[in-house]
């Protein structure tokens, strides 16, 4: 199948990326940056208005961006990590209490140690554990739960642990999610199990599925990785059985390219915010029913999207009008 290489230089300005900061969670390599690409792809392929399904949600930045801008009717977000799931559960079911904690919790090293214990405790409530996960995500380097605290334990660095804890902004993000909660379905399953309903199109509404599994290459220590090598093959097998259009993104490893060889793909580079700002090479695979875009995942601007919206509107109008004209 075809593979397109798109190598990009330079950072995109944040202001050009609508919806990038919709999520309260920070994720290294977070996919907020590809949200404009996903929107353009949805417009080009007539997927607007579908339900959106994300089995490895993490910070769910793409899902939130699509929901807030009305590209999708509902989002199904899933994550196996108990802390990440507790975070979403607390935000969706106990948003006011969550915001009260953002407002009043001291951002100190003493609190950091306390929250670290709560985050690891399976007996803590969803509110306690979800908030602890969020607290560590906002106060640790690059948002990595197991990473060290910003500024170091002695807090001698230029940046202190509160550098990414802008209370008012975070409260606004949580409140906004709360306003959309009737259109957000949350689960805590293994991704392959979670995907089963979408393997049958007669039991599920029209959907569009985006999978962002843990990276193949080990040793990065970015997320909790529940996968051994064979599991990536199992995911690809599940993807092959999906009854709705899908895209999958991965780090560009030869083993992944081999597993997904039968599908179209685009290669691109993504800037990570892990200490050294190097460029990671990524790859995106597409189900056969998606017409693969000629633009790159990080190349899509507001202008691209505006043009595509106009075109999609023209197509929809023509479709609605043509039968009426023919009947005249």
Ligand X SMILES: C[S@@+](CC[C@H](N)C(=O)[O-])C[C@H]1O[C@@H](n2cnc3c(N)ncnc32)[C@H](O)[C@@H]1O
| Nearest distance in Å: CB 84, ligand X | 5
| Nearest distance in Å: CB 306, ligand X | 24
Between 61 and 264, name the residue whose CB sits nearer to ligand X. 61
The answer to whether the Cα torsion of 314, 299, 84, 112 is positive or negative is negative
| Nearest distance in Å: CB 285, ligand X | 15
| Nearest distance in Å: CB 20, ligand X | 10
Are 235 and 213 in contact by the 8 Å Cβ rule? The answer is yes
How many Cα atoms occupy the beta-carbon half-sphere of 277 within 13 Å?
5
Between 84 and 86, name the residue whose CB sits nearer to ligand X. 84
Backbone angles phi, psi at 238, to 5 degrees: -65, -40
Between 58 and 245, name the residue whose CB sits nearer to ligand X. 58
Integer Cα distance of 323 and 328 in angstroms: 9
Query: What residue ranges bind ligand X (CB under 6 A)?
Result: 27, 30-31, 55-56, 58-59, 61, 78-81, 84, 190-191, 212, 214, 223-224, 226
Residue with tokens 């908030």: 131
Between 61 and 287, name the residue whose CB sits nearer to ligand X. 61
| Nearest distance in Å: CB 172, ligand X | 19
Following DSSP, what letter does each residue of 280-325 receive, concatenated?
EEEEEEE-TTSPPPSS-TTT--HHHHHHHHHHHHHHHHHHHHHHHH
Between 34 and 151, name the residue whose CB sits nearer to ligand X. 34
């Amino acid at each position: 199948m075809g593979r397109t290489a798109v190598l990009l230089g330079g950072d995109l300005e944040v202001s050009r990326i609508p919806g990038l900061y919709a999520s309260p969670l920070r994720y290294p390599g977070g996919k907020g940056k590809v949200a404009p690409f996903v929107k353009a792809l949805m417009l080009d392929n007539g997927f607007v208005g579908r339900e959106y399904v994300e089995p490895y949600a993490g910070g769910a930045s793409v899902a939130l961006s699509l929901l807030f801008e009305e590209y999708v009717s509902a989002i199904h977000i899933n994550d196996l990590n108990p802390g990440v799931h507790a975070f979403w559960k607390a935000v969706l079911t106990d948003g006011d209490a969550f915001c009260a904690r953002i407002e009043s919790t001291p951002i100190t090293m003493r609190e950091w140690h306390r929250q670290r214990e709560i985050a690891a405790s399976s007996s803590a409530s969803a509110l306690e554990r979800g908030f602890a996960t969020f607290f560590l995500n906002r106060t640790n380097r690059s948002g990595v739960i197991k990473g060290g605290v910003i500024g170091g334990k002695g807090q001698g660095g230029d940046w202190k642990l509160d550098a990414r804890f802008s209370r008012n902004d975070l409260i606004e993000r949580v409140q906004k999610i709360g306003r959309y909660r009737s259109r957000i379905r949350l689960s805590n399953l293994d991704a392959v199990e979670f995907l089963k309903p979408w393997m049958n199109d007669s039991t599920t509404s029209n959907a569009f599925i985006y999978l962002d599994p843990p990276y193949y290459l080990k040793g990065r220590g970015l997320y909790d990785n529940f996968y051994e090598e064979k599991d990536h093959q199992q995911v690809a097998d599940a993807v092959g059985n999906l009854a709705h259009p899908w895209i999958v993104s991965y780090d560009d490893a030869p083993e992944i390219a081999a597993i997904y060889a039968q599908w179209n793909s685009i290669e691109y580079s993504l800037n990570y915010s892990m200490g050294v700002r190097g460029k990671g090479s990524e790859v995106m695979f597409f189900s056969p029913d998606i017409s693969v875009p000629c633009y790159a995942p990080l190349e899509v601007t507001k202008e691209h999207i505006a043009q595509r919206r106009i075109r999609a509107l023209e197509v929809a109008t023509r479709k609605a009008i043509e039968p009426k004209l023919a009947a005249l």
